[in-house]
Chains A and B, each alone.
Chain A
């Protein structure tokens, strides 16, 4: 049953079984097996409500992780850059720092770049203009 390939079609009728879908399916299978092994759900008795609650919870966790990873990747792309201090104009090297953020899928920590100007002791956040979180 686990090996059965169910090719789903999206609303436009195009096969959605692209590489992302295949990867998600693979990860989902692994997660399902882990959840069953860990006793988080008993498929002998689980109602669909219980299945949906667990699926949604895992989906939210994945979404939060994606938010964290994507912001970290974005930060990585800019960490080698230098940014002028808004006060004195001195070029500063950024560092990565976590920041609490409530996403639509729940609270998480995203990663953003932070600069500390050694001259005027001002902190500023150069990635804010990308995230528009200021």
Chain B
């Protein structure tokens, strides 16, 4: 005697409702993920949900759901990258943007070793990468619409403040330590601080999407390239890629966005000019004149003149010893020359203004502040790398102007 095979339970209705075995509805799930992404902590998110959405979840439940969403977002990005590089990723927008801008920058996030029991094991700092993809609009000009730098960039106190604020963000890796990282991030300028450059009427943002992860630069670049493709940004007639002077940004640009106009953030340029001028003048009082001249020269696309002047000064100095200090004026000038030389091809600012392109990377720097607000804190350690990637994916999705944070069920 044979018994018929016992079938498992099945739920044909779920094909339509798109529900699985969750007991949380889609709209409540949306609120949980949003609260988990935007609140300072999962505990904070639980409190907000109870007060604002009248639903009660523990911080542990919110943590689990946010990580689940982050994992899914991260996996989707990887899948899209695969599809893109095998020519199978569709562009999801119909109208091609007039101007596409990609800005990249790096942040830092604290991690711990996973599966090591309660507490924080092997705490460390990891570099995170943030990519900002924007559909923008701006006017084009036959001639340079602002051949002279704005008044504020000729204001010594303003430039001094600006340069010092940026200085934290361009400390060479070897000089920074994890303890300083929090302050470095907090000292990054935001859009308000650099509005002066906007006197030229830099492009206006219409839509943004954000990617962030602790992936290696190649993996991140592939995902970013897929994102740019699916948002139709690479079809735009005008395209720009903006970053600070970090070499990895330009590796990314050359590898994945070769048709984008590469632009180095003008504010970072100013910080190097300021440091070099103070070093040569031996004080801000005596160096300011040089700084103002060099800012004007770079604004007008004459970076080679600045490099020549700096080189002439350096050549006139006594030979540098092998163990020269980083604070030595000769070393400061040498580093500045290196920065300007390496980035000279990305400093044609008059041309960028004519094309209506951005001159600074302040938007992505502001974005990093917003991300740090969620992911960084003295008590925040994320599992390396999955936990870090998940919270970064969720926060980045929350900062994006599309509906990527809304699950497809």
Contacts and interface: CB of A to CB of B under 8 A. Distances in A.
A19 B202 CA distance: 64
A45 B409 CA distance: 13
A4 B17 CA distance: 21
A47 B19 CA distance: 8
A124 to B, nearest CB: 34
Contacts of A56: 27
A45 B16 CA distance: 6
Contacts of B17: 46-48, 51
B18 interface: yes
B16 A52 contact: no
Nearest to A53: B27
Interface residues on B, range: under 10
A51 B25 CA distance: 10
Nearest to A44: B16
Interface residues of A, number: 10
Contacts of A40: none
Nearest to B407: A49
Contacts of A49: 18, 26-27, 409
Contacts of B19: 48
Interface in A70-87: none
A46 B409 CA distance: 11
Nearest to A104: B54
A35 B16 CA distance: 18
A130 B120 CA distance: 55
Interface string B249-268: 00000000000000000000
A46 B19 CA distance: 11
B357 to A, nearest CB: 40
A47 B16 CA distance: 6
Contacts of B16: 44-47
A53 B19 CA distance: 14
B25 to A, nearest CB: 5
A47 B26 CA distance: 10
Residue among A45, A46, A48, A56 with max Cβ neighbours from chain B (10 Å): A48
Interface string B1-17: 00000000000000011
Interface string A36-63: 0000000011111101110010000000
A52 B27 CA distance: 7
Contacts of A52: 25-27
Interface string B365-405: 00000000000000000000000000000000000000000
A63 to B, nearest CB: 12
A45 B18 CA distance: 10
B16 to A, nearest CB: 7
A47 B27 contact: no
Given A49-B18, A51-B17, A53-B27, 19 more contacts: A45-B16, A46-B16, A46-B17, A47-B16, A47-B17, A47-B18, A47-B26, A47-B409, A48-B17, A48-B18, A48-B19, A48-B25, A48-B26, A48-B409, A49-B26, A49-B409, A52-B25, A52-B27, A56-B27
18 contacts: A45-B16, A46-B16, A47-B16, A47-B17, A47-B18, A47-B26, A47-B409, A48-B17, A48-B18, A48-B19, A48-B26, A49-B26, A49-B27, A49-B409, A52-B25, A52-B26, A53-B27, A56-B27
